[in-house]
């Protein structure tokens, strides 16, 4: 995030922001994998361990984890339309538009060079350092929301974020 703010020029800022977006989603998914793995072992609910291990072994998509794991292993589903869950879904969509861009079947010729297929990089082209900050905050808020769904007391969430995400509690 700091690199995106301090980048020398818009292209370097876009590169740093793209990396921040990709990493924020990746970190969110890694957190889900690790935290739920620990959670099912600690709670020892019959069937939960085997169910989670099956999902991890077949490498289910992130959206499946977001949609099913909180309601299956915690007290309530994660709201994927608003709040921290909805923002994380938006972040994932932005990541997908950067990483899985589309290309056309058009061909253009410029100065004697023919280019077959044009990539739509508009999502990447519109990135700004503000989105890097948003990506970090979105990932942190997402992790905090998982803690809330796990019935962790609100006053303990800063400590849980410190333990799991390295974010020091505010003084």
Residue 61 lies in a domain: yes
Residue 107 lies in a domain: yes
- Please tell me the predicted confidence (pLDDT) of residue 12: 92
Which residues span the domain enclosing 61?
Answer: 2-165
> Which residue has better confidence, 66 or 6?
66
Nearest-angstrom CA–CA distance, 165 and 159: 10
Residue 49 lies in a domain: yes
141-161 average pLDDT score: 97
86-107 average pLDDT score: 90
Binning pLDDT at 50, 70 and 90, where does residue 76 land?
very high
> Which residue has better confidence, 6 or 23?
23
Helix (H, G, I), strand (E, B) or coil at 40: helix
**Largest distance between two CA atoms of the chain:** 67
Residue 171 lies in a domain: no
- Please tell me the predicted confidence (pLDDT) of residue 109: 85
Binning pLDDT at 50, 70 and 90, where does residue 110 land?
confident
The answer to whether residue 31 scores a pLDDT higher than 90 is yes
- Please tell me the predicted confidence (pLDDT) of residue 170: 84
The CA angle 104-100-18, to the nearest 5 degrees, is 120
Residue 43 lies in a domain: yes
The answer to whether residue 1 scores a pLDDT higher than 60 is no
Residue 155 lies in a domain: yes
Number of domains in the chain: 1
- Please tell me the predicted confidence (pLDDT) of residue 56: 96
What does the pLDDT look like over 122-148, one tens digit per residue?
898 999 999 999 999 999 999 999 999
7-12 average pLDDT score: 82
- Please tell me the predicted confidence (pLDDT) of residue 2: 54
Mean pLDDT, the chain, as a whole number?
92
- Please tell me the predicted confidence (pLDDT) of residue 6: 66
> Which residue has better confidence, 104 or 63?
63
Nearest-angstrom CA–CA distance, 21 and 72: 28
Residue 40 lies in a domain: yes
Residue 170 lies in a domain: no
The CA angle 157-162-163, to the nearest 5 degrees, is 95
41-48 average pLDDT score: 93
DSSP state at residue 103: B
- Please tell me the predicted confidence (pLDDT) of residue 39: 96
């Amino acid at each position: 995030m700091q690199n995106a703010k301090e980048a020398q020029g818009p292209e370097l800022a876009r590169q740093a922001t793209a990396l921040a977006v990709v990493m924020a989603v990746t970190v969110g998914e890694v957190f889900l994998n690790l935290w739920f793995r620990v959670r099912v072992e600690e709670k020892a609910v019959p069937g939960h361990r085997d169910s989670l291990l099956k999902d991890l072994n077949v490498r289910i998509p992130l959206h499946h984890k977001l949609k099913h794991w909180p309601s299956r292993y915690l007290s309530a589903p994660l709201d994927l339309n608003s709040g921290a869950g909805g923002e994380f879904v938006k972040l994932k969509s932005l990541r997908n538009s950067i990483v899985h861009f589309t290309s056309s079947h058009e061909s253009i010729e410029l100065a004697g060079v023919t280019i077959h297929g044009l990539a739509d990089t508009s999502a990447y082209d519109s990135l700004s350092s503000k989105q890097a900050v948003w990506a970090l905050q979105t990932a942190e808020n997402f992790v905090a929301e998982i803690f809330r769904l796990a019935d962790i007391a609100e006053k303990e969430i800063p400590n849980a974020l410190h333990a799991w995400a390295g974010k020091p509690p505010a003084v």
